Amino acid sequence: MAELEPPYKQYLSGKLPTHSSTQKIETHFKNLDKEACDTILKAAGLLNERGKPTQKALEAGYIDVCEKKILWNLESLETLYSKAGMKASRQYANQDIKESNSTEPAWANLATISQYFNVTSVVIGKWLDALDLREPGGLPTKDAIDSGLAQIAEVNIGGKKTKQFGRWELHLTQKVLRDAGHPLDFDYKASLQGKGKNSDVSVTSLDSYVDEFTKKFVSMFNARDKNLRMFVKKTPQAIQKRAEEKLKKPGLITSGDYEKRLR
């Protein structure tokens, strides 16, 4: 038995974690169900009839401990199952996508999404390109936008200059990339060092995007900014309608009525 450095979650994370809880051992191996896993462990004297690890499991090195939690060493278990005649090759774990409690989309940039796959944002962009979800310039395609996977946003880069960029729905994009053969591989250690999703996520809810658009629209409208029409044109109509609701002026933006008032 080894006493592992905390936090224990680092040993359970990633597509090929080093350890597992008792309840999830079978999820780490191909062609093995829970009954088969438990049967072999019990036959080897590593698991008792109540489904708890035995003292032998601790002494033989099948079990490590971290923060008083018992963790099965998956490398040792793979060897055990193979010796028992099972085709116990490892399979990717932690591939479930945590759904948001909100009914609204969670918009994120590629840097944020990359944290869930343990790659760079450049790699995420290449994966999206391979799926024909981005235009040559890097913006989402019409299909990506129409499907709710992405949207085009705009940011001020100084003065009256703006730049367009893509926002991607965090959960849908993870699913699309995972189903295309790119396993989720969140690195817990990286997050503790300020490089992972716990410290570097910039997810924008639809509500905050509506607020952002509404404030900028009002500011540009009051200033009679000549770029207002282009700003509105580049904003999804769903956002425009929500902004109208906040302003209590139905049709002001979507019908183009605001343009008449600028004259």
Residues 164-214: pLDDT tens digits? 899 999 999 999 999 999 999 987 766 655 444 433 333 444 566 678 889
For CA atoms 31, 33, 36, 39, give the dihedral sign: positive
Q: In what order do the strands lie in the sheet with 106-108?
A: 150-158, 161-169, 106-108, 204-205
With contact defined as beta carbons under 8 Å apart, do 180 and 132 qualify?
no
What integer pLDDT is reported at residue 38 of this predicted model?
Answer: 94
Query: What is the residue whose two structure tokens read 């730049």?
Result: 163
Tens-place pLDDT, residues 74-91:
999 999 999 998 888 999
What integer pLDDT is reported at residue 262 of this predicted model?
Answer: 78
**C-alpha distances in angstroms, 137 versus 127, 155, 158, 165, 166?**
15, 16, 21, 10, 10
Beta strands of 22-104 (E only): which ranges? 63-66, 69-73
Q: Is residue 228's pLDDT more than 80?
A: yes
Q: What is the DSSP letter of 2?
A: -
